[in-house]
Structure 1
Amino acid sequence: MSEFFTPLLAWIGENPLWAGLTVFVVAFSESVAIIGLIVPGVVLMFGFGALIATGILEFWAVFWWAVAGAVAGDGLSFWLGHHFQDRLRGFWPFNRHPATLQRGITFFQRYGGKSVALGRFFGPVRAIIPLVAGMLGMPPLRFLAANILSALVWAPAYLLPGIVFGASLELASEVAFRLVALMILLLFLAWALFILVRTLFRLIQPHATTLVQLGFEWGQLHRGFRSISRSLADPNHPEARGLAFLATLLLLAALLFVLITGIVLDGSLTKKTDLLFYSGLQSLHTPWGDQLMVLFTSLGDIGPILWIALGVAILLLLQGHQRAFYYLFAATAFGMLAPLLLKYSLRIPRPPNSPDSLGPWSFPSAHVLRSVTLYGFLSIMIARTLIREWRWFPYSIAALAIGAVALSRLYLGVHWATDILGSLTLGIAWIALLGIAYYRHVEAETHPATLIGTTLLLLLSCGSYGWFNAAERSAVYQRTPEIVQISLEAWWSGQAGLPLYRNDIFGNKDHPLNIQLAGDHAQLADLLKPHGWHRAEMLGWSNLLRLLSPKAQLETLPIPPQAHDARHEELVMVKPLSDQRRLLLRLWSTPLRLDPDGLRISIGNVTLQSAETVIGMLTIPRTVRQFEQPIDMLRQNLVQLQDGVKLDPGTPTRLILKPRQ
């Protein structure tokens, strides 16, 4: 992954002092009163940790610069509090927002001197506590001790998540940079969804009373809507704020669904956008990414949806909440039936190369609609049992689950982006309507902990089932290329059109495919075995922990698979050279067959791999960007093979193995 940061790496190499000062300024700003409330110190320290894992920054240099900045920032805040004392209440922003200062005072009075150390790790008060400590007369030496000790703990605590993430990206980039890009996209979308739902909820909630009042007054002016407005928009109803939030969602979602459906039927406005999303996500395919997305999409499969709905329904009936059971049934049934009716009514074709088993029609997405109606309604039930300040949380969790299903359908190439948007808006409109009626006519859940625990347990069981079956089920979404026959002369002379480099998301030609084989992989493995080659142990969940040994010899480490054309290798062989270096031979099958023998043609490469230790914690096998020596060493072994082997030592090297008798 270091190539992705080449400009940054070059700048840091030329200006190491400025890099250290940047860390100092971030840590200082994150700790200074008022400024620390604005500076995204957590995010920036996470980024520094990721750069440490990639080798761009050194851990101890960043650690000491961060400690120094944190101590200096808290020290300045303490001095300001000691100097101005109670006059701080008249300064901006405390004169406009006195609760901010009062929150720090309350925290300090509760924990005393320990609050200086504790406060550094609590976002709402971290930039206020040192100021309050000086303001309330904490002894300077006692403050200094707490300041330094907490900074020594704070720096690695904030860097470590970034280091772990960066090391994960380094390992993923060894597999395929597409996987890195997908991981970054997932993290960004998860963060964006979480923030979006929380922000939307907090924007609507303060204006709930006004919205309810407007709806109530409008309904009273129209005879046909008087009874509806009284039941749904009574401002004196104790659940008025929750009703207003759902009513706003209902209005917006219904309007958007009608708009999106019209645009989809017209087709001219969305065709290019749909193709852009489709092509972009198809370019990110890797085998591990496929399995992850199949896991996500399983959360919207009929089986898991019915399993979760049935489990919660049984719980509601056992607790005597019969009306709540009816609403849950309505939510689930709509998610099951509406996609069938709309698909065969509108008849919008799926993207090209979609599996035939899924049916021909695309709009709307049944997986997404089922997820919205079930997970959305469950979040409404749970949110109702929580205090107002925390009702946004179950909505955010439901949004993450629904977003995972939606992204998986796009990634797997079985839906257009407009299918997903239509499903989301229709599902939100339905659960908002159900939610309004549920708030009005059903008592709140009396055992919220049981409901939450049961829902999470059922969701985890479905996720576990999807996890263990992801590899098998991902085969449903893989495309089988058509077999093509080619003559020996055409292949031997380089006219087969085979790629000379591994596919890369940026089109960089830095992994040459320097060997082509016509023959059986097992036969080649047997022929190379006497020359020190053996089949490789590949990286998986069972041996992942071996990478955590910083002193491990390379030969004991599993080999991360690499991807070409969204597929992992079919044959990987290894030849140890020393404790920290080894040769690797990787082969991928192609759809070409040699005429007339029908020998399978494979492409691959021979590379040199070394071990790299990250901050003394993690050992990562890394491909050395030097390819001439490895292929030369393999050629020396190939020329010694027995009769029945034909070798062309050109570039790429071509090898024919006659079938065994």
Structure 2
Amino acid sequence: MTESLLRLLPTLEHFSVLGYWVVLLISLAESLAFVGVLVPGTTIVILTGFLASKGVFDLGDLIWFVVVGAILGDGLSFYLGQRGTQLVRPDSKLFTASRMQKATQFFQRHGGKSVFLGRFVGPMRAIIPFIAGMSRMNTRAFLLWNVSSALVWAMSYLLLGYFFGHAWQAIETWSTRFSLLLIVFFLVVAGLYWAKHRIVKYGKLMFAVLRSIGRSFLSTVRKNPDVQHLLHRHPRFFGFLRDRIRTDQFSGLTLSLLTLAFVYTFALFLGIIEDFLMADMIVTVDIRLQNLFYAFRTPELVQFFLWITLLGKASIIISAALVASGILWLNRQRVYLLPFWLVIIGSAAFDALGKSLFQRPRPEFSVYIEHSFSFPSGHATIAVAFYGFLAYILWQHTKTWTQKVNLFFLTIGVIIAIGFSRLYLGVHFLSDVWAGYLLGLLWLIIGISLTEWIGRQQRHSLLRPFFLSNSMKVVSGCLLAAEIGGYVFLGMSYAPPLTISFPLADKPLPNDVIAIFTEQQLPKYTETLTGRQQEPLSLLLLAYSDADVIAAFRQAGWYRADPITWATLLKIANAAVLNTEYLTAPISPYFWNARPHDFGLEKPTHAQSVRKRHHVRFWRTHYLSHTGKRLYVGTASLDIGIKWGITHKIAPDIDTERDIVLTDLQTAGFVDAYQQIQFVEPTLGYNEFNDPFFTKGISYVINLLKGGALS
């Protein structure tokens, strides 16, 4: 997840020193009259704070650049207010009468301190300094409030991003059956709603401003003598460029934009293919993410996502396409029919071609059986191609800007839901879904291009509204009702062949336990979700069953950790705040061999606080000794306090914790025999929360006596 967020800001990340100046300009624009309303500077400042936590920027230097940008932005706005009262007109789109009235009332109510307060009020940030200039506020007083507010604003938002960057790994790992999905769901919905609201409110204005700036820029460039000379010397070349931005023909701006979109999407598609073939980072995340979903799967959510995944099933798509085609035919909107079916057939054919070329097996722990290959996802492909083209048709016949934006985000929501259902049901990897989205988008661009070309050739108005007679409305309504009824009926009766979960075949464990790690290439270290190496395994237990391990530890004074649920999260949060004991508090998941731990145990410390406790996590293997005992691998650590208010900080000496586990089991009388082995080289490293640890690399192989059936 961290890598994904870094890629959202490639410009800042790769600008190096220039990145500080880019941030300064963004901070300036955020506070600048006429511009600040449209620039999401606060969000970008928070994200740069996040990048500072990852070492991309120096936090101290970053603070000064953001502060200087904010001071300059407010200063320029103040100057414009003093010198440019004529900029405020009744027909102004940026400074409307209502907005100016609110800002003026705010300034009058709070006086000089409104400059300070206004910086933290989004819509007022770019207006208050302008009002202050118009009101002839004392310049020295303005500078005082300007500088002080810039310092507080910059440090607040940068430190928020910096804190979030350090805390992200904690948030990433504290995931559970419902909490993970609910957090993702609410974040996605909130993000989409925020984006929709901003586009509805400012979208037209933003496009108008950009169009005006573009025209002004081109006009200024054309008047330059050197440019005039070039235009006269190369009339054909510049005539070709001029034709590419014409709006009165398909080969102009329409084709240019569609071509750029196609080329960019195709480059992304080639990139994901390269990542898949080269087993890049996304493939590493693929396996761990699927194992995480498998561990947190519930029957209720499986049933819910089966309904969602039906929206991409071939039978539903074909029937819905026939219904849509019938309505288009009855309404004489036949210009869409050929491109519509070309998009459906083309995307399906190329998806099948991709599966046959790459032949990637399906994930191991899927909910039900799919008989085709995995890469790319057919459901993700058809979701973008089919639902995207339907949205394109409806967009052409939707009247208001608000309706168009709502339609766009509704379509995005459906597409995301279908792709996520494939991940949760375990029938696809993340890279499969992403590749499917890109493939579907390529065919959607082809279909839109063909539709626009046919419409121009036939002089057909794609904006011609639907006019249906009463009889045609009845027929169309019946077709839609039949399609919805068919979907509901199929959903109620849908029972795909469920996967029969066979346990991994047991294998004999050699006398030399360490041999299986070298011969079978099993990892000797735990790992993060993205596969980064963490603490080495320090405990190798031989026991007959999980119950025996848990019973032995219980007799030694250890408790089995509760699963992570909303109830246990609230309980541990309450215990952490009150600094009280919670003997069975949940443990954040660790990964080994791409799997989250099977169970965890903990022991209270003398502090009698959930903030300080002993931890041990175990993974069950399929290796059996000649006596029938199974090998369990684990790692131990000691929490020594709360970190960032979200997770725990561990003590660096993890060897001491390993020794405590052995001593406790010996004291309880459950150790039949044990031996020390040099498992890894002496190691000094950091865990997923950047807590340092050190170890001599010695692990204990402990042969447990049968501990009964306590749990």
Tell me, yes or no, whether TM beats 0.5: yes
CA distance in 1, matches of 2:664, 2:507: 30
Give the structure 2 partner of residue 604 of structure 1: 634
1:526 aligns to 2:551 (yes or no): yes
SS at 2:525's partner residue?
A: coil
Q: After superposition, what is the alpha-carbon deviation per residue over 1:493-519, rounded to whole angstroms, capped at 9, x for unaligned?
A: 986654321135787654121001122
Distance 1:256 1:648, change over 3 A: closer
Give the structure 2 partner of residue 126 of structure 1: 125
- The residue correspondences of 1:344-359 to structure 2 (distance < 5 A) are 348-355=356-363, 357-359=369-371
Give the structure 2 partner of residue 587 of structure 1: 618
* Pairwise CA distance, 1:323: 4.8
CA distance in 1, matches of 2:557, 2:597: 20
Give the structure 1 partner of residue 398 of structure 2: 385
Give the structure 2 partner of residue 214 of structure 1: 249
Q: After superposition, what is the alpha-carbon deviation per residue over 1:176-231, rounded to whole angstroms, capped at 9, x for unaligned?
A: 9xx9xxx9xx99xx99xx89x999x969x97999766324xx9xxxxxxxxxxxxx
* Pairwise CA distance, 1:30: 4.3
CA distance in 2, matches of 1:248, 1:24: 33
Residue identity in the other structure for 2:411: A
CA distance in 1, matches of 2:602, 2:703: 20
* Pairwise CA distance, 1:46: 1.6
1:429 aligns to 2:458 (yes or no): no
CA distance in 1, matches of 2:256, 2:500: 38
1:535 aligns to 2:545 (yes or no): no
Give the structure 2 partner of residue 370 of structure 1: 382
Q: After superposition, what is the alpha-carbon deviation per residue over 1:270-324, rounded to whole angstroms, capped at 9, x for unaligned?
A: 97454136663334524446789999987972257799989999x99xx999859
Distance 1:604 1:99, change over 3 A: farther
CA distance in 2, matches of 1:547, 1:160: 26
Give the structure 1 partner of residue 673 of structure 2: 646
Q: 1:275 aligns with which of 274, 277, 280?
A: 277
Give the structure 2 partner of residue 567 of structure 1: 595
Would the aligned equivalents of 1:28 and 1:70 in 2 still touch at CA under 8 Å? Answer: yes
* Pairwise CA distance, 1:576: 0.7
* Pairwise CA distance, 1:352: 3.4
CA distance in 1, matches of 2:389, 2:499: 28
Distance 1:304 1:571, change over 3 A: same
1:103 aligns to 2:95 (yes or no): yes
Give the structure 1 partner of residue 579 of structure 2: 553
Residue identity in the other structure for 1:514: S
* Pairwise CA distance, 1:345: 7.2
CA distance in 2, matches of 1:43, 1:541: 29
- The residue correspondences of 1:91-490 to structure 2 (distance < 5 A) are 103=95, 107-109=99-101, 111-114=103-106, 120=119, 126-137=125-136, 162=161, 165-166=164-165, 169-172=168-171, 213-215=248-250, 272=274, 274-276=276-278, 280-283=282-285, 285-286=288-289, 287-288=291-292, 301-303=309-311, 323=331, 348-355=356-363, 357-361=369-373, 365-372=377-384, 373-378=386-391, 380-381=393-394, 384-388=397-401, 391=404, 394-395=407-408, 398-399=411-412, 402=415, 412=429, 415=432, 420-430=437-447, 439-440=463-464, 442-443=466-467, 483-490=506-513
Would the aligned equivalents of 1:53 and 1:164 in 2 still touch at CA under 8 Å? Answer: yes
Q: After superposition, what is the alpha-carbon deviation per residue over 1:319-369, rounded to whole angstroms, capped at 9, x for unaligned?
A: 999859999999998888766666667872454332593223567642123
Would the aligned equivalents of 1:249 and 1:432 in 2 still touch at CA under 8 Å? Answer: no
* Pairwise CA distance, 1:561: 1.7
Q: 1:657 aligns with which of 704, 708, 711?
A: 704
Give the structure 1 partner of residue 239 of structure 2: none
1:514 aligns to 2:538 (yes or no): yes
* Pairwise CA distance, 1:528: 1.8
Work out the number of aligned pairs and report it.
561
Residue identity in the other structure for 2:577: K
Distance 1:369 1:560, change over 3 A: same
SS at 2:394's partner residue?
A: helix
Would the aligned equivalents of 2:419 and 2:433 in 1 still touch at CA under 8 Å? Answer: no
Would the aligned equivalents of 2:360 and 2:374 in 1 still touch at CA under 8 Å? Answer: no
CA distance in 1, matches of 2:337, 2:572: 48
Residue identity in the other structure for 2:391: L
SS at 1:539's partner residue?
A: coil
Residue identity in the other structure for 2:632: S
Would the aligned equivalents of 1:270 and 1:418 in 2 still touch at CA under 8 Å? Answer: yes
Residue identity in the other structure for 1:527: A
CA distance in 1, matches of 2:658, 2:432: 43
* Pairwise CA distance, 1:647: 1.9
Would the aligned equivalents of 1:335 and 1:369 in 2 still touch at CA under 8 Å? Answer: no
CA distance in 2, matches of 1:143, 1:347: 65
* Pairwise CA distance, 1:527: 1.4
Q: After superposition, what is the alpha-carbon deviation per residue over 1:552-590, rounded to whole angstroms, capped at 9, x for unaligned?
A: 436435322222223211120110112231111111122
Would the aligned equivalents of 2:559 and 2:602 in 1 still touch at CA under 8 Å? Answer: yes
Residue identity in the other structure for 1:31: S
Would the aligned equivalents of 1:67 and 1:155 in 2 still touch at CA under 8 Å? Answer: yes
CA distance in 2, matches of 1:211, 1:252: 16
* Pairwise CA distance, 1:47: 3.7
Would the aligned equivalents of 1:635 and 1:649 in 2 still touch at CA under 8 Å? Answer: no
Residue identity in the other structure for 2:466: V
Distance 1:374 1:659, change over 3 A: same
Give the structure 1 partner of residue 75 of structure 2: 76
CA distance in 1, matches of 2:256, 2:370: 34
CA distance in 2, matches of 1:336, 1:368: 12
SS at 1:488's partner residue?
A: coil
SS at 1:625's partner residue?
A: coil
Distance 1:476 1:609, change over 3 A: farther
SS at 1:354's partner residue?
A: coil
Residue identity in the other structure for 1:560: S
Distance 1:625 1:38, change over 3 A: farther
**Percent of residue pairs identical:** 19
Would the aligned equivalents of 2:81 and 2:134 in 1 still touch at CA under 8 Å? Answer: yes
Distance 1:165 1:384, change over 3 A: farther
Q: 1:501 aligns with which of 504, 510, 525?
A: 525
Distance 1:495 1:344, change over 3 A: closer
- Which runs of no fewer than 5 residues in structure 1 stay unpaired? 3-21, 219-232, 234-243, 445-450, 466-472
Distance 1:542 1:49, change over 3 A: farther
CA distance in 1, matches of 2:430, 2:32: 48
SS at 1:108's partner residue?
A: helix
Q: Normalized against structure 2, the TM-score is what?
A: 0.58
Give the structure 1 partner of residue 472 of structure 2: none
Cα RMSD of the aligned pairs, angstroms, is: 6.6
Residue identity in the other structure for 1:126: R
Would the aligned equivalents of 1:249 and 1:429 in 2 still touch at CA under 8 Å? Answer: no
Would the aligned equivalents of 2:119 and 2:153 in 1 still touch at CA under 8 Å? Answer: yes
CA distance in 2, matches of 1:250, 1:29: 30
